[in-house]
Amino acid sequence: MRSLLKNKKGLSTVVTSLIILVVSVLLASVVTFYAINVTTTRVQEESIQVYKLHTWHDGATTGETAFLIINTGGRDLVLDKISVRGQECVWTSVWYNKTTATINDDIPYLIPTNTTHLPTSVTIGSVSFNLTQGSSNDLILQSGDSMIVYILNPDHISVNDIGVTVGVTVFTANAQYYKESNVEASS
């Protein structure tokens, strides 16, 4: 027994503890990096871009907001609500068109048919798009698709706001997308 304790060829307990500690840290690091790699490569992220945002006022009683949404993420998404200047827009005041077409030209102002309705189509560039009035249901936008959105009479937009910056927020199930523009005169 004494010869075992006096053997000089074995590792000391400090060196043995360090080796065990380094191996366990390296093993934990490898497992962590593997888990991060698996979760980030298999999870498709939600991402939309809001382009060509305009807010107009006709100088009397009617306001209008229009923009283009492009779903650039890897999965379909649900648009829960849209707010202009912090006020939620009811879906019945929203007109939209879902398309796979590329839209390069700017979105034009639409002259309302009356105080509660917009025309049923819009021509952007040389392409005509049919507009659908929103209902009480949330809107679904597939991955890679675009959506032209018009909002008639968003709350808190008046003639006094011409030249003032207002924000538009698009809410999805997982995120909020915010964009600002100046209120323009429609004429």
pLDDT digits (tens, 9 = 90+) for 135-166: 878 888 898 899 999 998 888 888 888 889 99
The whole-number average pLDDT for the span 106-126 is: 85
Q: Which residues are CB-contacts of 9 (< 8 A; sequence separation ≥ 6)?
A: none
Q: How confident is the model at residue 11 (pLDDT cuts 50, 70, 90)?
A: low
* Architecture of domain 48-185 in this structure: Sandwich (2.60)
Give the integer Cα–Cα distance in Å for 63 and 95: 14
Q: Which whole-number Å values give the CA distances from 145 to 21, 87, 98, in the listed order?
A: 52, 26, 7
Going by C-alpha positions, the residue among 95, 102, 110 that lies closest to residue 149 is 95
Q: How confident is the model at residue 168 (pLDDT cuts 50, 70, 90)?
A: very high
Give the integer Cα–Cα distance in Å for 160 and 174: 34
Apex 32 CA angle, 31 and 33, nearest 5: 95
pLDDT at 69 over 90: yes
Going by C-alpha positions, the residue among 180, 171, 181 that lies closest to residue 48 is 171
Proportion of the chain above pLDDT 70, given as a percent: 90
List, in sequence order, every beta strand (DSSP E) within 58-164. 63-71, 77-84, 87-88, 94-99, 121-124, 127-130, 132-133, 139-141, 146-152
Give the integer Cα–Cα distance in Å for 109 and 5: 92
pLDDT at 12 over 80: no
**Both structure tokens of 127:** 């392409």
Question: Coil, strand, or helix at residue 120?
Answer: coil
The whole-number average pLDDT for the span 44-57 is: 86
Q: How confident is the model at residue 118 (pLDDT cuts 50, 70, 90)?
A: confident
pLDDT value at position 68?
93
**Higher pLDDT, residue 128 or 8:** 128
pLDDT at 92 over 90: no
